[in-house]
Amino acid sequence: MQIFPKFAGMDEKQVAGKKTNEELAEELYARGWSVSDHYISEDFRKQLLKEQQELLYHGQFRHAGIGNGESFAIKPEIRSDKVLWLDENQLTPLQQKYWNSLDQLRTAINQRCFLGLRSFESHFAMYPPGSFYLRHLDRFQSVSYRIVSVILYLNDSWDESKGGALRLYFTGQNGLEQYQDIFPIGGRLVVFLSGEMLHEVLPTKSTRISITGWFKDEF
């Protein structure tokens, strides 16, 4: 059995904590996923959440689908969130600020992981109470350009009783499948390899808000 000393015996606190872009990139390189708490300031998180709520109130969110192009389909038995895609050419000042900070993360990941990430696409996501997203990969045939998934949670408060964890599956040191649950705590950012990391959103009891995006290897 091979032990990776750096990741042996990791507990919740070591999984999370505040990290720099370079630390996120290093973990992504070493094991395919990483989490940082307090990725954005509380002020910025509240502003983004307010903007999300205004857009939701004005009916801008749509039922999320799976697949794209001709294979796009709305399947609430697979995923039941609602999304609003951000338009790169019409970003609000707040969205632009987030976009800019993720561009620095993109650069850090490219420097460490040589993934040739060139662009970013992103949507707000809202999971109403009772909703979920079954186990899946973010990169499938029709979106093979998605290389790294990036999720920022905007929720005001969260605890385990609300459910709604992101469950990331990976192969443990014993060769068996393991998982790590990551709760959608406001200000927390998760990155993982879109084509490698199977994951799901467990049913949530509370409205669950995030900005989900993908770094792509094409424009």
Which positions touch Mn ion (CB under 5 A)?
138
Determine if 210 is a binding residue for ligand OGA (CB under 6 A): yes
Nearer to ligand OGA (CB atom), residue 112 or residue 201: 201
- The residue behind tokens 């796009």 is 72
Residue 111 DSSP SS3: helix
Determine if 193 is a binding residue for ligand OGA (CB under 6 A): no
Instruction: Work out what residue 45 binds among ligand OGA, Mn ion, none; the CB cut-off runs from 5 to 8 Å by kind.
Output: none
C-alpha span between 39 and 208 (Å, rounded):
18
Backbone angles phi, psi at 34, to 5 degrees: -160, 155
Backbone angles phi, psi at 96, to 5 degrees: -65, -40
Residue 16 DSSP SS3: coil
Shortest separation between residue 208's beta carbon and ligand OGA, angstroms = 7
Taking a C-beta distance cutoff of 8 angstroms, is the pair 129, 206 a contact?
yes
Among 105, 117, 138, 154, binds ligand OGA (CB under 6 A): 138
As given in the structure block, the two tokens for residue 54 are 């205004």
Among 166, 168, 189, 191, binds ligand OGA (CB under 6 A): 166
Instruction: Work out what residue 61 binds among ligand OGA, Mn ion, none; the CB cut-off runs from 5 to 8 Å by kind.
Output: none
Nearer to Mn ion (CB atom), residue 106 or residue 199: 199
Determine if 139 is a binding residue for ligand OGA (CB under 6 A): no
C-alpha span between 157 and 137 (Å, rounded):
27
Among 133, 158, 183, 192, binds ligand OGA (CB under 6 A): 133
Q: Which of 86, 87, 90, 119 is nearest to 102 (CA)?
A: 119
Shortest separation between residue 138's beta carbon and Mn ion, angstroms = 4
Taking a C-beta distance cutoff of 8 angstroms, is the pair 84, 61 a contact?
yes
Instruction: Work out what residue 80 binds among Mn ion, ligand OGA, none; the CB cut-off runs from 5 to 8 Å by kind.
Output: none
Interacting residues toward ligand OGA by CB under 6 A: 125, 133, 138, 151, 166, 199, 201, 210, 212
